[in-house]
Amino acid sequence: MKLRLYFAQFERSRLSIELAPLQLAGGILDIDILNEGITPPACRTDFEVQVNGAWVPLDGAPNGPNLTGLPAILPLRVTLTGTTDLMPGFGLSNSQVIVSRPKTTFTWIGETKTLGSPTTSIKIITDLQAYEEAKHDCAVTLRTGATLATTETADVVQDETLPNGTIRRTSVFNMTATSKYEVRIVGSTTTAADLFLVSELIEFAQS
């Protein structure tokens, strides 16, 4: 039995292929790539975007691309690194890229609470992480009544800065006796690149 073997041979050990640029009206902040490819041991497949004239890999490293400027168009390329005998490969037909950015406003509606007895005072505590008053806004309101048709705004709002920098906001609502309510939180930021987190919500209803 005779055996003849054929081996691939590549002219270069590193090859960069420029792909169609990424585009999103209003700016890009998040990039999600699903790549159909094969990367053998000792080889690398790096997707890179061009920011301020420099190509930066999308490898999850802390020094990755700075997209806080919300670029609307990002040049994209893939760099294949291997040897003249072994190189990675990737496919286009089953690969995809999704670009996005967070919204700058949100509205959260809590579950409807039915109390065992009516109350005239409800206290809502929210912990706001990475919150900056100059950039962010967060307001708590209540919907009360049998059909939740009445909107209550807080009579007292107090902020406390915790040791880790979190803002603990206490909103106190004094109202006509009610046994049914739901919490609504409305927040906003001046830019999608600077967000805050409502990390905890505590509710007190006094009978």
For the chain, give every domain's residue range.
Answer: 15-100, 105-206
β partners of residue 80: 15, 45
Residues 126-141: pLDDT tens digits?
999 999 999 999 999 9
**Dihedral, CA of residue 39, residue 44, residue 49 and residue 53, to nearest 10:** -150
Is the separation of the CB atoms in 173 and 152 below 8 Å?
yes
Q: What is the mean pLDDT of residues 178-196?
A: 97
**Predicted local distance difference test score (pLDDT) of residue 2:** 84
Is the separation of the CB atoms in 31 and 92 below 8 Å?
no
The band of 201, judged by pLDDT with boundaries at 50, 70 and 90, is very high
Question: Does residue 75 carry a pLDDT above 90?
Answer: yes
Question: Does residue 59 carry a pLDDT above 90?
Answer: no
More confident residue, 4 or 109: 109
Say what percent of the chain tops pLDDT 70.
100
The band of 74, judged by pLDDT with boundaries at 50, 70 and 90, is very high
Cα distances from 167 to residues 33, 130, 163, 164, in angstroms, run 35, 8, 9, 9
Asked if CATH classification 2.60.40 holds for the domain at 105-206, the reply, yes or no, is yes
Is the separation of the CB atoms in 185 and 116 below 8 Å?
no
Question: Does residue 107 carry a pLDDT above 90?
Answer: yes
Q: What is the mean pLDDT of residues 56-73?
A: 90
**Predicted local distance difference test score (pLDDT) of residue 61:** 77
Tell me the residue ranges of DSSP E strands in the chain. Answer: 14-23, 30-38, 44-51, 54-57, 73-81, 89-100, 105-109, 113-129, 136-144, 150-153, 156-161, 167-189, 197-206
The band of 115, judged by pLDDT with boundaries at 50, 70 and 90, is very high
Is the separation of the CB atoms in 203 and 154 below 8 Å?
no
The span from the CA of 13 to the CA of 35, in Å, is: 21
The band of 163, judged by pLDDT with boundaries at 50, 70 and 90, is very high
pTM: 0.81
Q: What is the mean pLDDT of residues 155-180?
A: 97
